[in-house]
Structure 1
Amino acid sequence: MKLVELLRSVMLSVATNKFRVILTSLGIIIGTFTIIMVVGIGKASEQAVEDQYKRLSVESITITKVRGPGKEGTSSSKTLTKQDAMKMSELLNNVKSVGISTGTSSEVANGLTTSTVSIQGINEAYAAITHLTPMSGDLFTDEDGTMRNKVVVLGYNLASLLFDGNVDTAVGSKIMVKGSPYTVTGVLSRIGGSGGISSGPGNMGSTSADDMAFIPYDVALKYTTGMGGTKGGRGGGMVTIIAQANDINSVKPAIEEITKYIGEVTGSSDSYSVVDAGSTLASAQQTSSTMSALLIAVAAIVMVVSGIGIMNVLMVSVKERTREIGILKSIGAARKVILLEFLFEAIFISLCGGLLGVLLSVFAPWLLSFTEISYLASLKGILLGLGFSVITGIFFGYYPAAKASKLKPIEALNHD
């Protein structure tokens, strides 16, 4: 039997049992759609991780408090104060600059326009290390923090939201931050991604610098995060310290110096996590990849269940068409021909389900627009989804096809 005739036979069989085929392929459709969605979400997550750290220089070293068995979930060792952190650039040979930040979430408002955003309290060094540069106006200074001046620098998107797209009018205006008036001194250049900002666990919403508001560190401690900000997050925002090594070759010795210094100040060198930007990025990417792999595994289980459905339908089809198989064999059809006919039918069902799943994935960005989940379409996801669907059809279709091919002509013809 020629290939064209085999395919025509498959199409006739599918056309005869359209409703059954549609129900069978539903699982494949959902499975393929799920795989594409998972890969897309995973890609977006990995991209977000890269964006989060891309503005940090390779000489950057992040220092954060380690959670432990101490009071209120924090480590029982002494906490680094701002003064302790700032001394590192003076006392350590391989550290040239130290930035510090603390974050919380709060409502900001300009007239009737309000939004709950991440508020970051930072010093000048932190802004320099993370490359926060204004497109208009200026950044505040450490002196503003010392004088407790209520000044704020807005991310581009936040400024556009609060001032109806007229970001140029933001500088010099007053906005309300946590119920108090703050003067806008500058608007940051649009960054995209997360701009190297670590917002901490206490923040809500977007962690992109474009969507955040920045105020002097000391002002944040007094008016937004509270004095808990100096205690590694107790009662306020989590404190993040970023040190900058002299150069790329100084990163490792700088980490050793910082770890030793922390031990001397706090009594335990393990009370803080000290990692360079590259290690942090690699760890975050690994976590994101692991989550994506787990979700793909879940989607694969959906495919397996769908494959069992295909097998069941083909087993029923073999039983219904036993006499047809007997006739084909009696006129000389080879065992291989019978096997391929049923196997092609399984592949056709699964491939159609896969293609419909791909078509459905076109609407994924629209569906996810109602959530805060990011999605990045990729060819890898489409190929992976289609690959899983075809493999499912082959794997679960082979047994019924092989069973059909082994039927003896006499028994098949005498079947009722």
Structure 2
Amino acid sequence: MAPALIELRDIVKSYPSGGTPVRVLHGITLAIREGEFVAIVGQSGSGKSTLMNILGCLDKPSSGEYLFAGRDVARLDADALAALRRGTFGFIFQRYNLIGNETAAENVEIPAVYAGMARRERSARARALLERLGLRDRVDYRPTQLSGGQQQRVSIARALMNGGRVILADEPTGALDTKSGREVMAQLHELHRAGHTIILITHDHTVASEAERVIQLRDGEVVDDRRTAPARAPAPAPQPAAPSATRTSLLPDVIEAVKMALRSLRTNLFRTVLTLLGIIIGVGAVIAMLALGDGSKAQVLSRIEAMGTDLLVVRPGARNVRTRDESAALVAEDAEAIGELPNVRESVGEHARGVTVRYGENDYVTLGTGATANYARARNWSTARGTFFSDADVRGVAPVAVLGKTVVDNLFRRGENPVGRYVLINNIPFQVIGVLAPKGANSSGTDMDDTILMPLSTARMRLFGRNYVRVITVQVADMEQVEETEAAIAALLTERHRKVDFQIRNNASLMETASETQNTMTMLLGSIAAISLLVGGIGVMNIMLVSVTERIREIGIRMATGARMLHILLQFMTEALVVCSVGGAIGVAGGLAAAWVAGRLGSPVVFSLPPVAMAFGSAFLIGLLFGFLPARRAARMDPVTALATE
């Protein structure tokens, strides 16, 4: 006699039921040898299906010993049991247990996928098995396109995919007509002759009589164990189909998981699209909001830069102190004294007031600014036409003016050259000697081109009648010493005025403050958009939980055919990642398109790679985080419970 391949010693199986466990198997002891054809027969409730689950390592006994080839199965963890099922057992179920969204060939390949067999090798083997079982023309059919007998033959091919040393057939003819049932039994006999150990579970004594050994169960106990045919010398046991190469990474598993994920998502296309929408909207909103926020920031900073970032602006009046003569605190001599300080490149005294300018029949109200000749150098403001007034013009109180672009547009005809023309400023004639290059709006939104510049001496004597200046603009040579220069100006003016009746504003610090403010606004916009991305992630988790619930039987099938916990975890995590990645990619395109449209409509927009990478990375991370809980739930399922779920 050959040594026992399967040996059960006093196997007991109980299930919890309230406070008192229900015992299903009562001390089963038996041995099955290599190459036997054994039928386990009994009525419903006799415990035969529970015994089959224990024999196939789908379930564990409550007590007793189960030895397979001398190896104590009770000592194996979940992954080791999965490896044993994958490499040794082949299951043929009464209800076929085929995965509906996969073809016959793909169903047959499942055990080889988890065994790590190369794609071409397993595809060729699956097609060969189906051809051997008479399904050559049905390899690309889905289960719903096959008859019951054909589906059962696909199930047999799947059981043989990795070798199928032991074939466990649970009521393989129960759902078939008489002819198909005879064909299945003939195939089991052929497998037995080929060396497979066959364990047939049935309630039909006629079917059981075809085995060479019949074990009868009643109420969880063996009541009869007899031979119906003499034991024959078994053929050599089939060897498991080994992987084509040693696996050294998870990459093949990941690739297969992506394929299965895409297949599953395609099956529920409408639900997949609805799930994608949350991620698409979230990612698109993040990208569009950040693009608009960065554009607004760039616009504000460019306006400040147009004013000059190397400038210190001195104005009359102490901070938070109001005096009656504060407007007269600064004079032109103060600007000249500041110009003598170290690190000061230019010091410009300015006096501005609203004026009415007329040319021909056109009147226009604008800002008239009297300044010294170095105004243009301090402001980095060039002329588009003509020239700027000179020191000689200032000393000679020359009635000359330089116009901003907005003033030119409102006074002169399109294409007309203002240089050399005379305009009336508050009814006093001035000759136009130049037109300023356009600068646009400043940080407060004021149009910087809506101005007329003239010599400070001319403005004081002919227009304003005042000797003081309203502002002194100081251009700093070295910005690294700007704080020392600011302190030197404050000390100089305090000494000259005998009091602090002025205030100094640093344009560089203004730019820093504006930048920080805009960053805060951008982060606020991004955070609001990120909330929608988070909501989309919650939607992904809910859909994945629904998917796991709907596919419990599929999970059981995969576990029965050798899937480890890692395989199940990887499959469902990959589905979540695929959804979020596809949604993220579409969201990126949508967000960029929305920002582009906003830009075309006049909103300031700045496109950059970091927001795009951040939004897509966030979508990927959300898939990872929100897909983990459903995937973990699927991976921890009990295969027996999963297979029994309708």
Q: Same fold (TM over 0.5)?
A: yes
The answer as to whether partners of 1:103 and 1:200 remain within 8 angstroms in 2 is no
The answer as to whether partners of 1:66 and 1:273 remain within 8 angstroms in 2 is no
3-state SS of 2:562 partner: coil
Task: Specify whether residues 320 and 66 from structure 1 end up closer, same or farther in structure 2 by C-alpha distance, changes over 3 A only.
Answer: farther
Correspondence for 2:305 among 41, 48, 53 = 53
In the alignment, does 2:511 pair up with 1:285? no
In the alignment, does 2:417 pair up with 1:187? no
3-state SS of 1:376 partner: coil
1:215 aligns with 453
2:260 aligns with 9
Q: Map residues 202-281 of structure 1 onto 2, 5 A cutoff.
A: 203-204=445-446, 211-216=449-454, 241-245=472-476, 251-264=482-495, 265=497, 267-268=499-500, 272-275=503-506, 278-281=508-511
Task: Specify whether residues 392 and 284 from structure 1 end up closer, same or farther in structure 2 by C-alpha distance, changes over 3 A only.
Answer: same
Distance apart, 1:307 and its partner CA:
1.0
Q: Map residues 223-372 of structure 1 onto 2, 5 A cutoff.
A: 241-245=472-476, 251-264=482-495, 265=497, 267-268=499-500, 272-275=503-506, 278-360=508-590, 361-371=592-602
Task: Specify whether residues 291 and 330 from structure 1 end up closer, same or farther in structure 2 by C-alpha distance, changes over 3 A only.
Answer: same
Task: Specify whether residues 324 and 90 from structure 1 end up closer, same or farther in structure 2 by C-alpha distance, changes over 3 A only.
Answer: closer
TM-score, length-scaled by structure 1: 0.72
Give 1:19's aligned amino acid. F
Separation (CA, whole Å) in 2 of partners of 1:67 and 1:134: 35
Distance apart, 1:380 and its partner CA:
1.9
Shifted more, 394-403 versus 139-148: the winner is 139-148
The answer as to whether partners of 1:365 and 1:375 remain within 8 angstroms in 2 is yes
Give 1:367's aligned amino acid. A
In the alignment, does 2:270 pair up with 1:19? yes
Distance apart, 1:18 and its partner CA:
2.4
Separation (CA, whole Å) in 2 of partners of 1:376 and 1:246: 31
Separation (CA, whole Å) in 1 of partners of 2:555 and 2:517: 53
3-state SS of 2:601 partner: coil
1:75-112 per-position Cα deviation (integer Å, ceiling 9, x unaligned):
89935435365243367566453225578999999999
1:167-199 per-position Cα deviation (integer Å, ceiling 9, x unaligned):
x734345789999998653233467xx6xx8x4
In the alignment, does 2:608 pair up with 1:378? yes
Correspondence for 1:153 among 403, 407, 416 = 403
Distance apart, 1:302 and its partner CA:
2.3
Distance apart, 1:19 and its partner CA:
2.6
Distance apart, 1:314 and its partner CA:
0.9
Q: Map residues 158-169 of structure 1 onto 2, 5 A cutoff.
A: 166=415, 169=417
Separation (CA, whole Å) in 1 of partners of 2:398 and 2:547: 79
1:46-94 per-position Cα deviation (integer Å, ceiling 9, x unaligned):
5442674378475x433357896556xxx89935435365243367566
1:412 aligns with 642
In the alignment, does 2:348 pair up with 1:99? yes
Higher normalized helix content (fraction of residues): 1
Distance apart, 1:413 and its partner CA:
2.2
The answer as to whether partners of 1:57 and 1:130 remain within 8 angstroms in 2 is no
Separation (CA, whole Å) in 2 of partners of 1:353 and 1:4: 19
Separation (CA, whole Å) in 1 of partners of 2:579 and 2:362: 53
Separation (CA, whole Å) in 2 of partners of 1:178 and 1:328: 91
Distance apart, 1:391 and its partner CA:
1.2
Task: Specify whether residues 249 and 29 from structure 1 end up closer, same or farther in structure 2 by C-alpha distance, changes over 3 A only.
Answer: closer
The answer as to whether partners of 2:401 and 2:434 remain within 8 angstroms in 1 is no
Task: Specify whether residues 41 and 67 from structure 1 end up closer, same or farther in structure 2 by C-alpha distance, changes over 3 A only.
Answer: farther
3-state SS of 1:377 partner: coil
3-state SS of 1:171 partner: coil
3-state SS of 1:135 partner: strand
2:283 aligns with 32
Distance apart, 1:137 and its partner CA:
0.9
Paired residues in the alignment total 387
Give 1:99's aligned amino acid. V
Task: Specify whether residues 247 and 169 from structure 1 end up closer, same or farther in structure 2 by C-alpha distance, changes over 3 A only.
Answer: same
Separation (CA, whole Å) in 2 of partners of 1:348 and 1:107: 67
Separation (CA, whole Å) in 1 of partners of 2:274 and 2:356: 49
Task: Specify whether residues 383 and 181 from structure 1 end up closer, same or farther in structure 2 by C-alpha distance, changes over 3 A only.
Answer: farther
Give 2:526's aligned amino acid. I
1:335-380 per-position Cα deviation (integer Å, ceiling 9, x unaligned):
1111111111111221122212221213413223334x31121122
Task: Specify whether residues 112 and 87 from structure 1 end up closer, same or farther in structure 2 by C-alpha distance, changes over 3 A only.
Answer: closer
Long gaps (5+) in structure 1: 232-238
Distance apart, 1:297 and its partner CA:
2.7
Distance apart, 1:159 and its partner CA:
6.0
1:195-221 per-position Cα deviation (integer Å, ceiling 9, x unaligned):
xx8x474x54x56xxx55443386999
Q: Percent identity?
A: 25
Task: Specify whether residues 102 and 200 from structure 1 end up closer, same or farther in structure 2 by C-alpha distance, changes over 3 A only.
Answer: farther
Give 1:370's aligned amino acid. L
Task: Specify whether residues 355 and 106 from structure 1 end up closer, same or farther in structure 2 by C-alpha distance, changes over 3 A only.
Answer: farther
Separation (CA, whole Å) in 1 of partners of 2:558 and 2:424: 82
1:293-329 per-position Cα deviation (integer Å, ceiling 9, x unaligned):
3332333222212111111111111111112112211
RMSD: 4.7
Higher normalized strand content (fraction of residues): 2
Separation (CA, whole Å) in 2 of partners of 1:134 and 1:172: 14
Separation (CA, whole Å) in 2 of partners of 1:3 and 1:179: 83
Task: Specify whether residues 307 and 115 from structure 1 end up closer, same or farther in structure 2 by C-alpha distance, changes over 3 A only.
Answer: farther
The answer as to whether partners of 1:108 and 1:178 remain within 8 angstroms in 2 is yes
1:131-186 per-position Cα deviation (integer Å, ceiling 9, x unaligned):
2121321224685899695844234x9868987874x7343457899999986532
2:382 aligns with 133
TM-score, length-scaled by structure 2: 0.49
Task: Specify whether residues 273 and 353 from structure 1 end up closer, same or farther in structure 2 by C-alpha distance, changes over 3 A only.
Answer: farther
Greater RCO (Cα-Cα under 8 Å, separation 6 or more) = 1
Task: Specify whether residues 5 and 246 from structure 1 end up closer, same or farther in structure 2 by C-alpha distance, changes over 3 A only.
Answer: closer
The answer as to whether partners of 1:77 and 1:268 remain within 8 angstroms in 2 is no
Separation (CA, whole Å) in 1 of partners of 2:283 and 2:424: 48
Give 1:267's aligned amino acid. K
Give 1:15's aligned amino acid. R
Separation (CA, whole Å) in 2 of partners of 1:252 and 1:15: 65
Task: Specify whether residues 329 and 358 from structure 1 end up closer, same or farther in structure 2 by C-alpha distance, changes over 3 A only.
Answer: same
The answer as to whether partners of 1:45 and 1:288 remain within 8 angstroms in 2 is yes
